[in-house]
Amino acid sequence: MDNVLELEKVSVKFGGLVALNNVDMTVRRGEILSIIGPNGAGKTTLFNLLTGIYQPTSGRIIYKSRVINKLKPFKRVGLGIARTFQNTRLLKNMTVLENVLVAHAECNGEGLLQSIFARSSTAKRRAAIVAECTQKLEVVGLAHKLDVLAGSLPYGEQRLLEIARALATGCEILLLDEPAAGMNAAEKAELVKKIRQLSKEFNIEIILIEHDIGMIMDISDRIVVLNYGQKIAEGSAEEIQNNPDVIQAYLGGEVEEL
């Protein structure tokens, strides 16, 4: 299986604090990769690193054979890397559709002369962008709420809207930071279906941080475990559940509470 994204001996240090230490990791084409670990393990730092909010102190980040260590976040989005956040970052006074439109690469590319003198082609282009964004909302189950203000959505639907907004960037790798937070069991089950659909039907690689270990074990093709900024394990759900280093790092005994 081809590697789409690679971390080679990556470290992130803030003064004397080592947030990530010599981490090797790959994201393979077509897979759902989950990152787990206790609080403070370095999971969010890893996401911030991959999306350009942080730069590595040492090591290399390679995306499609290109080193992207110094690329700004918007440049990485342009290359196909998008994310959601632990806390929703929606424009709550804008509608569901408007929130997705602002993320579309072509939405802000219209010039003044084009809008004045090429009205027919401009109208067609705008309609195509709206249709594309509506299709992303259909994927997450929100196409029936196009004109609803984002801030009035239930919390679980706000998280789905964040996923749709990330999809509107045209991403090829999607980083989901605790997407099931605030969802009930039925909503989580539906979310798992949607994530699998994105991975298999839309050929999007998924990197997932999630504290619901049952969901992680159900959905993941592969799992990486961090502890104190170091990678301590990697493998299938079964391998991770039976790894003594993982069990010790989490709880000293009961895998169900991982």
Q: Could you read off the pLDDT of 15-47 as tens digits, one per residue?
A: 889 999 999 999 999 999 999 998 889 999 999
HSE, side-chain direction, 13 A CA sphere, residue 70:
0
Q: How confident is the model at residue 116 (pLDDT cuts 50, 70, 90)?
A: low
φ, ψ dihedrals at 210, nearest 5°: -160, 140
Please determine, for residue 96, whether its predicted confidence score (pLDDT) is greater than 60.
yes
For 89-170, CATH gives 3.40.50.300
Please answer whether residues 57 and 13 qualify as being in contact, where contact means their C-beta atoms are separated by less than 8 angstroms. yes
φ, ψ dihedrals at 146, nearest 5°: -55, -40
Sheet-wide strand order for 205-209? 81-83, 173-177, 205-209, 32-36, 222-227, 230-235
Do the domains spanning 1-80+173-180+202-258 and 89-170 agree at the CATH topology level?
yes
- Averaged pLDDT for residues 124-153: 93
The residue extents of the domains of the chain are 1-80+173-180+202-258, 89-170
HSE, side-chain direction, 13 A CA sphere, residue 22:
1
* Topology classification of domain 1-80+173-180+202-258: Rossmann fold (3.40.50)
Q: What 3-state DSSP class applies to 68?
A: coil
Beta-carbon contacts of 51 under 8 Å, excluding residues fewer than 6 positions away, are 73, 76, 81, 83, 175
Instruction: Report how far residue 244's alpha carbon sits from residue 27's, in angstroms, rounded to the nearest whole number.
Output: 24
pLDDT confidence of residue 1? 58
Distances (CA, A) of 9 to 13, 20, 227: 13, 10, 16
Can you state the percent helix, strand and coil of the chain, rounding each to 5? 40, 25, 35
DSSP class of 109: -
Q: Which amino acid is at 56?
A: P
Q: What is the pLDDT of residues 171-182, one digit of tens each?
A: 999 999 999 988
Please determine, for residue 216, whether its predicted confidence score (pLDDT) is greater than 90.
yes
The continuous run of DSSP H or E covering 156 comes out as helix 155-167
Outline where DSSP puts E strands in the chain: 3-14, 17-28, 32-36, 58-63, 66-67, 81-83, 173-177, 205-209, 222-227, 230-235
Instruction: Report how far residue 136's alpha carbon sits from residue 146's, in angstroms, rounded to the nearest whole number.
Output: 11
- Averaged pLDDT for residues 79-84: 95
